[in-house]
Amino acid sequence: MAHALTINNLRFSYLSYQERSNEPLFCDLSLSIEEGERVLLLAPFDMGKTTLAKIIGGVCPKYFPGTMTGSITLFGTDLSTVEPWQLLTEVGYVSQNPAEQFIATTVEEEIAFPLESLGLSRAEMRERIATVLEAWGLAHLGDANESELSGGERKRVLLAIQQALSPRLWLLDEPFDDLDPVWRVRLKETILAGGKTTLVLASRYLADFADLFDRVLLLDERRIVALPLRESLSRFSTLCGDDKPSPLLDQTIEDQRRTTLSAGALAVERKRRSTTSTPPFEMTVDSFALESGELVTLTGANGSGKSSFSRLLCGLDEPKRGVIAIDGKRQSTKELNRSVGYLFQNPDLQIFLPTVEEELSWSLRRRRELSSSEIAERVGFAADLFALDLGDTPTTMSYPKRKALQAAVYYLLDRPFYILDELDSALTYHSALSIMASLRQRGSGILLITHDRLFAAKVEGRAYTIEAGRLIER
């Protein structure tokens, strides 16, 4: 069987913008995948998985500067001799963060863009686009803009592009993230039916999809290692820290405050600005409650309204009707802003200052009752708790570190309630559970939004789900 992808002795380190040089992400990394093979490459977060995908796609170090040595051959072609656009039918890349790949203003145009690059006829494009829109449940969203899609819908658009193009190598970075169980199964079926060479990069092992792969590899100490599956998984669990006991188990809550956040008879309506062909999104909440120190999970299909509901709870949006109260007292949006901490899925929208120290002290410095020494003490404590270096620059920190910083900022705000939106999407289970434990330490109630049933199962507590536009307690 011919080789689809061969990597020999790859070394790569990102260009450093500081005095000290960056550590190489890979050292003499080698990998060989045969045509038609389906390979799962497990890598803990922040170990260069996405970088490796971008290198194989031919866009790194071109657009993400760094020093690279070694050789990569894709279907017999030396990758250093071709441009990314020449690889359009050779390799299709689905990013971990779908938003970064969108270039057009509607879903249909997004799928059409690479087909137009191939010079396909309009009739053929129409046929392919209609097929993949139907296959990925996007037929009603053809005119919608990316900004109006949920995370899962964005991921499905990228997978629809992949299917419409049908490249020889499917390069999928965390493809199951953001997808609800129905679409995860659909992805598995699509990969199996397609018969294409597939490299899935993942930072979590999903046992449900074990039979999908011919081989499971591990990125360990900057190299790819092939071990028997059981050993691979055991080593991977150690690397991720997931073999440690959950910090939520037997946790002692310091502050025994008793407060309840509740919502009743809520109605949410959201109109899509870019299309009139779909009815407005609607959701109702008959009853919801979250108490101090409580851990509650919220699950639901892609686009079911989890984020819309969260925005109401923290006062970013106003409900069409209904009441949100704390201890029975109706809350204004401004009061909710200051009582319910909402950790966005994307931490970059919530951190904005040059150093970790400034970021952590930003809110505290605006409180006149706190002295400088008190602020420094609190900031230092939070930095230790979340393993942060006060002198670090957030924009150059790794994603898990930025996520930890985002959590530390909210920890210092000491809100009675927190909403954690897809906290686990780019963290190991252990890291995510540790953040939850720290936020809960002082008695805050936590609402965790997740797609991952395994992660939800690690969080003991009540569970809500959204089905057919209605929030229900399971």
Partner 1 sequence: MNTSAFVAGNGWLYRFDPRAKILLMVLLCIFFFLPITLLGLFLSVLLVIAVGWRNTGTKNIKGVFLSIAPMLLFMLLFSPFNVRSGEPLWRIGAVTIITVEGALQALRLACRFIGITYVCTLLFATTVMGEIMLALRFWRLPYKAALVVTLSFTYIPFIAESFSQIAESHRLREAALEERKNYIQRLKDLVPTLTSVLVVALRSIPNLAMSLEMRGLGRSERRTSYRSLDSYTRLFTDFVISITIVTMLWLIFKA
Binding residue for partner 1, selected from 130, 135, 212, 316, defined by CB under 8 A:
316
Q: Which among 143-151, 322-330, 383-391, 427-435 is the span making contact with partner 1, rule CB under 8 A?
A: 143-151
Residue whose CB is less far from partner 1, 58 or 443: 58
**Of 110, 148, 174, 422, which one is the catalytic site residue?**
174
- Give the shortest CB-59-to-partner 1 separation in angstroms: 4
Residue whose CB is less far from partner 1, 8 or 147: 147
Q: Which among 70-78, 223-231, 350-358, 459-467 is the span making contact with partner 1, rule CB under 8 A?
A: 350-358
The answer to the question of residue 376 lying near partner 1 (CB under 8 A) is no
Question: Where in 207-236 is the site for partner 1 (CB under 8 A)?
Answer: none
- Give the shortest CB-341-to-partner 1 separation in angstroms: 7
Residue whose CB is less far from partner 1, 59 or 390: 59
Binding residue for partner 1, selected from 3, 11, 126, 140, defined by CB under 8 A:
126
- Give the shortest CB-194-to-partner 1 separation in angstroms: 19
Question: Where in 144-203 is the site for partner 1 (CB under 8 A)?
Answer: 145-147
Q: How many residues sit in the footprint of partner 1 (CB under 8 A)? A: 74
The answer to the question of residue 341 lying near partner 1 (CB under 8 A) is yes
Q: Please say whether the beta carbons of 242 and 428 come within 8 A.
A: yes
- Give the shortest CB-411-to-partner 1 separation in angstroms: 12
Mask for 84-113, x = binds partner 1 (CB under 8 A):
xxxxx----x-----xxxxxxxx-xx--xx
The answer to the question of residue 258 lying near partner 1 (CB under 8 A) is no
Residue whose CB is less far from partner 1, 417 or 429: 417
Question: Where in 415-444 is the site for partner 1 (CB under 8 A)?
Answer: 415
Mask for 262-281, x = binds partner 1 (CB under 8 A):
----------xxxxxx----
Residue whose CB is less far from partner 1, 330 or 367: 367
Residue 35 annotated to the active site = no
The answer to the question of residue 53 lying near partner 1 (CB under 8 A) is no
- Known catalytic residues are 174
